[in-house]
Amino acid sequence: MANTRIKYIIKYQFNKRTFTSAHTTLIKQQIIKQQMIKK
């Protein structure tokens, strides 16, 4: 029971980190696009 819970927590943390990094990349791309338009 506890082992399954630990696996779930690790999986959740990994998914959260992946989502956050993907989201950050998306924001960076949008900022770059805005800077290109301003030029």
DSSP state of 31: H
The distance in angstroms from the start CA to the end CA of the chain is 58
pLDDT of residue 6: 87
pLDDT of residue 1: 62
Give this prediction's pTM: 0.50
7-37 pLDDT per residue, tens: 998 899 888 888 899 999 999 999 999 998 8
Tokens describing residue 30: 């949008």
pLDDT reading at 39 higher than 90: no
pLDDT reading at 3 higher than 90: no
